[in-house]
Amino acid sequence: MQKKEFSSVDIAVLVQELKDVIVNSRVNKIYQYDKKTIILKLHKTDSPQLRLVMEAGRRIHLTSYVLKPPKIPPGFCMALRKYLSGAWIDKIEQYKFERIVLLHLRKRIGNWKLILELFGEGNIILTDEKNKILQALIFKRMRDRNIIRNEVFEFPPSRSKNPFEMTKEDIKQEIVEFGETEVVRAIARLLGFGGFYSEEILSRANIEKNKLCGALQDSDFEAIFNSIQNILSAITLSKTQPSLILDEDDQFLDAIPLELNRYKNFSVKLLKTFNEVIDQFYLKDTAHKKAIAGGHVNKLEKEVERLERIISKQKQVLDDEKKSILNNKILGDAIYSHSGEIQMLLDYFSVTNRVGKEWATMFRAVLDAKKAGKTPATLVESFDSRNLIANI
Please identify every stretch of the chain with a pLDDT value under 50, giving residue numbers as ranges.
288, 291, 352
Question: Which pLDDT score, from 0 to 100, does residue 291 have?
Answer: 47
What does CATH list as the number for 163-294?
1.10.8
Question: Which pLDDT score, from 0 to 100, does residue 67 have?
Answer: 79
**Domain segments of the chain: what residues?**
8-159, 163-294, 338-391
The CATH homologous superfamily for domain 8-159 is ibrinogen binding protein from staphylococcus aureus domain (2.30.310.10)
pLDDT tens digits, residue range 186-219? 999 999 999 999 999 999 999 999 999 999 999 9
Give the predicted TM-score (pTM) of the model.
0.73
Q: Which helix (H) or strand (E) element contains residue 40?
A: strand 37-43
Question: Which pLDDT score, from 0 to 100, does residue 322 have?
Answer: 85
Question: Which pLDDT score, from 0 to 100, does residue 295 have?
Answer: 54
Q: How many CA atoms lie within 13 A of 240 on its CB side?
A: 26
Tell me, what amino acid is at 285?
Answer: D
CA-to-CA dists, residue 202 to 9, 161, 196, 233, 251, angstroms: 16, 18, 10, 17, 28
Residue pair 133/154 in contact by the 8 Å Cβ criterion: no
What is the distance between the alpha carbons of residues 131 and 123, in angstroms, rounded to a whole number? Answer: 16
